[in-house]
Structure 1
Amino acid sequence: MKKLLLLVALVAFTFNAKAQIETPQPSPASKLEQKVGLTDVTLEYSRPGVRGRTIFGDLVPYGKLWRAGANKNTMVTFSDNITIGDQTLKAGSYAIFVKPMKGSWEVYFYTDTNNWGAPKNWDDSKVAAKITVETHDVPFNVETYTIDVNQITNNGAALEFIWEKTYAAVPFSVPTETKVASAINRVMQGPGANDYYAAAVYYLEEGKDIKQAKQWIDKAISMVDKPQFWQYRKQALIYAEAGDKKGAIKAAKKSLKGAEEAGNADYVKMNTDSLKAWGAM
């Protein structure tokens, strides 16, 4: 009897030891974190492979809901309210579901993220946003299913899906302009040099009121005991955009001198190129 118990214990121990062996998953998990403007976007999903199969219209049937990945539901998280089409998607996490069609996809953002696959009982009230997007043929085979955040600007980006020979993209916008405007209005009650500088650079890059940007960059420069070459560089660009070539040349020469002293070849080249373009060299 003791020998039998010992044998059972040995078999159990051997089985448990084997159960600790980790092997690669056929659809490995992936996590992507991307900043879009001032909004954090996080994607969590599993990545199946084609492995010689026909995907859309076969493994993933047309007209049926798909979890946009494998294993646990594909999930996206936004740190701010964002806009998809004409719909506002509140900050938070959403499961992504797709209904593939020939030539288009219906993409759903679902508030219940705890399902494993499509919900057993679909609830339309949990659809926070829905959009139909065109699909495009890819001229080569994409073996591993991929979701990415691309086409990034200060004010938006696109969730891009690509697998086998199919590509689809869901554009979305983020509230960068609103957040920056709010921050500018708030800090202008008692702003420092960095605040004036950041506001001026933002207005330059977004093509906003360049006269206002010129006032802010001048204020920023005046508040610094020893302005740095990169600050003078932005001042030069703002002056140039405002049509003040003389002021732009003066600021660029200061930036060039500072960059040469610091040994920064990139800024030396940028200022040299600008001064040549403005007829100062």
Structure 2
Amino acid sequence: MKVLKWILIVLAVLSLLFFFVLSPYMRTQTKKHSPETTVVYTKNGMDLSVTYSSPSKKDRVIFGELVPYDAVWRTGANEPTTFSTANDIKIAGKNLPAGTYSLWTRPSRQSWSVIFNKNIPEWGVTILSGGKETTRVLEEDVVEIEIPTEQIAETVENFTIDFDQQKELYMRISWDRTRVKVPISK
């Protein structure tokens, strides 16, 4: 009984060390390579923000290799990207109520699925899968749309999300030589 008690104490101490020391340290280290960025749009009666971690291309083949085609991606690095809206809006004509959502994508060669999900997990992928499986909770999807990809002339070194207001407002997702433009309206 004494041995079992000591084993449980050691496991408890190791667990606490992981959650309070190792986990915060790992997050700090990953942010050095993929810095966290927030973009904001506050015009035309809309109050939007996107927070994401921005990895670099670093001479890698991004889509189809680093980011596999036809698999759900956390859309950035580290924690899942979050999209917040203070107002009810429409994403490509589909209603998205005010709130904060995790943003996921499923890139393919010709188009991407863009997914807004009510659940915001702590990390975007499972550690045991080596980063290949996301922590998205499928049942919490609120809006999913299909957006065609655009091939762009200039290589975008750092993964970027921004807002582009022309005749219509778009949330643009750009990396390498690929861009998708998600239409947003009231």
One fold, TM greater than 0.5?
Answer: yes
State the distance in 2 between where 1:164 and 1:72 align: 21
Letter of the structure 2 residue corresponding to residue 29 of structure 1: E
Task: Provide the residue aligned with 1:122 in structure 2.
Answer: 137
How far off is 1:152 after superposition?
5.0
- Secondary structure of 1:25's aligned partner: helix
Name the CA distance, whole Å, in 1 between partners of 2:111 and 2:73: 14
1:79-94 matched pairs, under 5 angstroms:
79-94=86-101
Shift of 1:87: 1.6
The residue aligned with 1:131 is 145
Contact 2:123–2:135 (Cα < 8 Å) also in 1 = no
- C-alpha separation between the residues in 2 aligned to 1:110 and 1:30? 20
Percent identical:
30
- Which fold has the larger relative contact order, with Cα–Cα distance below 8 Å and residues 6 or more apart in sequence? 2
CA offsets, 1:32-73, max 9 Å, x none? 121131111111001000001000000000010101100111
Contact 1:36 1:157 in 2 (8 A): no
Q: TM-score, normalised by structure 1?
A: 0.51
Aligned AA (1:159): M
- Letter aligned with residue 149 of structure 1: F
CA distance 1:121–1:166, change in 2 (3 Å): closer
> Are the equivalent residues in 2 in contact too, given 1:36–1:152 (CA < 8 A)?
no
CA distance in 1, matches of 2:64, 2:118: 27
Q: Where do 1:41-190 residues align within 5 Å?
A: 41-118=48-125, 119-120=134-135, 122-124=137-139, 126-152=140-166, 157-174=169-186
8 Å contact kept, 2:157–2:176: yes
Deviations 1:163-193 (A, max 9, x none): 001010100102xxxxxxxxxxxxxxxxxxx
Asked if 2 retains the 8 angstrom alpha-carbon contact of 1:94 and 1:111, the reply is: yes
Conserved in 2, the CA contact under 8 Å of 1:28 and 1:48? yes
Q: Secondary structure at the match of 1:55?
A: coil
Q: Which runs of 5+ in 2 are unaligned?
A: 1-24, 126-133
1:139 is displaced (CA, Å) by: 1.1
Tell me if the contact between 1:148 and 1:159 (Cα under 8 Å) persists in the aligned partners.
Answer: yes
Deviation at 1:86, TM superposition (A): 3.1
Q: Which segments of 5 or more consecutive residues in structure 1 lack a partner in the other structure? A: 1-18, 175-281
Q: Aligned partner of 1:75: which letter? A: T
Q: CA deviation at 1:151?
A: 2.1
Residue identity matched to 1:168: V
CA RMSD of aligned residues (A): 1.9
1:116: Cα distance to partner?
A: 1.2
Q: Which has the higher strand share?
A: 2
2 CA distance for matches of 1:152 and 1:93? 25
CA distance in 2, matches of 1:162, 1:72: 18
Contact kept? 2:172, 2:182, Cα under 8 Å = yes
Q: C-alpha separation between the residues in 2 aligned to 1:151 and 1:63? A: 29
Cα offset for 1:115?
4.0
Q: Which has the larger radius of gyration?
A: 1
Aligned length: 151
